[in-house]
Homo-oligomer: A and B are copies of this chain.
Amino acid sequence: MSESEPVPVTEGAVAADGVVFEDPEYRLAVVDLLGVIAYGELSAFERLVDDAKLAPTVRDRVEMGAMASLEFGHVVRLHERLRELGTDPFDAMAPFTAAIDLFHAHTAPADWHEGLVKAYVGDGLAADFYREIAAYLDSGTRDLVIASLEDAGQADFAVRHLRRAIGEDPRLAGRLALWGRRLMGEALTQAQRVAAERDALSALLAGGIDRPGLDLAAIGRMFTRITDRHDQRMADLGLAA
């Protein structure tokens, strides 16, 4: 390579996936997606540690801390990738802080059990949604997104504690089932808000000249899949969805 041809910042991605990053609209959508996931994981990290205060034992606090530290590791890797793409990770996260902060402000758990349901159901919903989007991405970005959404053990931890608690006090089931529906409703509200404001991210789902997209029927099927998985998670807890 001659000196007049500087290495483009996106070279890694281009080498792996051809010319996708030459489309500025696509690049913007990927930056948006990594930005929203990074801020979501930063928030999840902080919330896990915060909710650990409600834990009944020091052992539970240490388990929550271990899961939180893994989430923070994901933030670090997403930031590295954003820098490789020539973007300040804090600029990439900025458009999504309001929606994610509102989600958390509207769903502050009142006790340890609500916190566990939120960690399990909330993180599960977010992961399902981002995984659906990742299917439309270049393989490098897709792999990073999927690795970032890997369950750090929350699911097992929450199911184990919640099934036992509901077994000991069956009245918990009604309250936590309502709480699960509220989490789903609030997540949809904030997701719609983000979709309405971020054209590039929405356009990603609609496709481009060289990329397949989703028609309305396909988007409908996607939401059905996400809802089905939510119902399955609630059922795993022994709760009505």
Interface residue ranges, A against B (CB under 8 Å): 39, 42, 45-46, 49-50, 52-53, 57-59, 61-62, 65-66, 68-69, 72-73, 75-76, 79, 90, 93-94, 97
Contacts and interface: CB of A to CB of B under 8 A. Distances in A.
B52 A46 contact: yes
24 contacts: A42-B58, A42-B61, A42-B62, A42-B65, A45-B49, A45-B65, A46-B49, A46-B52, A46-B65, A49-B49, A49-B50, A49-B68, A50-B50, A57-B90, A58-B90, A58-B93, A58-B97, A59-B90, A65-B72, A65-B75, A66-B76, A69-B69, A69-B72, A69-B73
**Copies of this chain in its oligomeric complex:** 2
A46 to B, nearest CB: 6
A90 to B, nearest CB: 5
A222 to B, nearest CB: 30
A59 B58 CA distance: 30
Contacts of A45: 49, 65
A68 B48 CA distance: 13
Q: Counting chain B CB atoms within 10 Å of each CB, which of A62, A79, A93, A94 scores highest? A: A62
Contacts of A53: 46
Contacts of A62: 42, 75, 79, 90
Most chain B CB atoms below 10 A, which of A58, A61, A94, A97 = A58
Nearest to A72: B69
Nearest to A93: B58
A234 to B, nearest CB: 29
The 7 closest A-B pairs by CB, nearest first: A49-B49, A69-B72, A69-B69, A65-B72, A59-B90, A46-B49, A58-B90
A72 B61 contact: no
Contacts of A79: 62
Contacts of A39: 58
Nearest to A43: B61
A54 to B, nearest CB: 12
Contacts of A59: 90
Contacts of A49: 45-46, 49-50, 68
Contacts of A68: 49, 72
A151 to B, nearest CB: 18
